[in-house]
């Protein structure tokens, strides 16, 4: 069965008819040509398909496109400034060698952006700090909070360094 949905993706409005069984990931990649979210496992296990949906990180392979009707989606590409300038996380991943092949990188960056937004918001109740005594973002906390995003190249040291650097710049790092 088809249904019509409207989404805003990286600032652009899309109204499309979709099969109710199609995932948001397949809609983005195959119908809209937005390939920044990557298909790794297609089973919610790797995080490479992560985007921000209304500001919160979601795995698009586990989200039906129809269920995302009316949402605002931000991919890693959409985190760039209005003038096309890179987001601080983009720069930091380059500066700290937070990638090798780059396949997991857009998902890592979206997940990190979502985590930093959660911290900026004072950790909404649904995402309370994992370590109550040290809610600030130290390396252990960052590792835990990004643990849904796998990197087959094993670039974790650079990834954590890159995110820590941005957290520090935003006054969110700890202890
Ligand atoms: Fe979605 Fe792996 S492709 S979690
Ligand atoms: Fe290759 Fe992460 S950089 S999978």
Between residues 120 and 64, which one has the greater pLDDT?
64
Q: Is the predicted pLDDT of residue 172 greater than 80, yes or no?
A: yes
Q: For 173, which DSSP code?
A: B
How far apart CA 87 and CA 79 sit, in angstroms, is 6
Q: List the CATH code of the domain at 88-169.
A: 1.10.150.120
Ligand 2 atom nearest residue 100's Cα: 3
How far apart CA 47 and CA 61 sit, in angstroms, is 9
Give the number of whichever ligand sits closest to the CA of residue 28: 1
- Mean local confidence (pLDDT), 158-162: 98
Q: Is the predicted pLDDT of residue 148 greater than 80, yes or no?
A: yes
What's the confidence (pLDDT) of residue 122? 79
Q: With bands split at pLDDT 50, 70 and 90, how would you rate the model's confidence at 123?
A: confident
Write out pLDDT tens, residues 3-39.
999 999 999 999 999 999 999 999 999 999 999 999 9
How far apart CA 42 and CA 60 sit, in angstroms, is 9
Pocket test for ligand 1, best of 27, 28, 30, 46 (most atoms within 8 A of CB): 46
Question: Is residue 109 lining ligand 2, measured as CB closer than 6 Å?
Answer: no
- The domain segmentation of the chain, as residue ranges, is 2-75, 88-169
Task: Please provide residue 138's backbone torsions phi and psi, each rounded to the nearest 5 degrees.
Answer: -90, 180
Q: Is the predicted pLDDT of residue 147 greater than 80, yes or no?
A: yes
Residue with CA nearest ligand 1 atom 4: 44
Q: Is the predicted pLDDT of residue 62 greater than 90, yes or no?
A: yes
Ligand 1 atom nearest residue 44's Cα: 4
Q: With bands split at pLDDT 50, 70 and 90, how would you rate the model's confidence at 162?
A: very high
How far apart CA 102 and CA 123 sit, in angstroms, is 29
CATH 3.30.450.370 fits 2-75, yes or no: no
116 and 172 in contact (C-beta within 8 Å)?
A: yes
Q: For the chain, what is the mean pLDDT? A: 93
Q: For 129, which DSSP code?
A: -
Q: With bands split at pLDDT 50, 70 and 90, how would you rate the model's confidence at 134?
A: very low
Both structure tokens of 174: 């700890």
Q: Is the predicted pLDDT of residue 99 greater than 50, yes or no?
A: yes
**DSSP H or E stretch at residue 116:** helix 105-120
Q: Is the predicted pLDDT of residue 128 greater than 80, yes or no?
A: no
Both structure tokens of 35: 């390939």
Pocket test for ligand 1, best of 24, 59, 103, 110 (most atoms within 8 A of CB): 59
- Mean local confidence (pLDDT), 107-113: 98
């Amino acid at each position: 069965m088809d249904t019509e949905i409207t989404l805003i993706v990286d600032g652009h409005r899309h109204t499309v008819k979709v099969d109710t069984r199609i995932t948001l990931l397949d809609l983005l990649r195959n119908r809209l040509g937005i390939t920044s979210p990557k298909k790794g496992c297609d089973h919610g296990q790797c995080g490479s398909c992560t985007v921000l949906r209304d500001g919160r990180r979601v795995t698009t392979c586990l989200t039906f496109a129809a269920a995302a009707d009316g949402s605002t989606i931000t991919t890693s590409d959409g985190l760039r400034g209005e003038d096309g300038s890179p987001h601080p996380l983009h720069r930091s991943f380059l500066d700290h060698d937070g990638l090798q092949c780059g396949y997991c990188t857009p998902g890592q960056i979206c997940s990190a952006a979502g985590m930093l937004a959660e911290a900026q918001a004072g950790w909404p109740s649904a995402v309370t700090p994992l370590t109550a005594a040290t809610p600030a973002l130290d390396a252990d906390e960052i590792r835990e909070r990004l643990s849904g995003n796998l990197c087959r190249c094993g670039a974790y040291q650079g990834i954590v360094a890159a995110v820590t650097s941005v957290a520090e710049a935003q006054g969110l790092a700890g202890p």
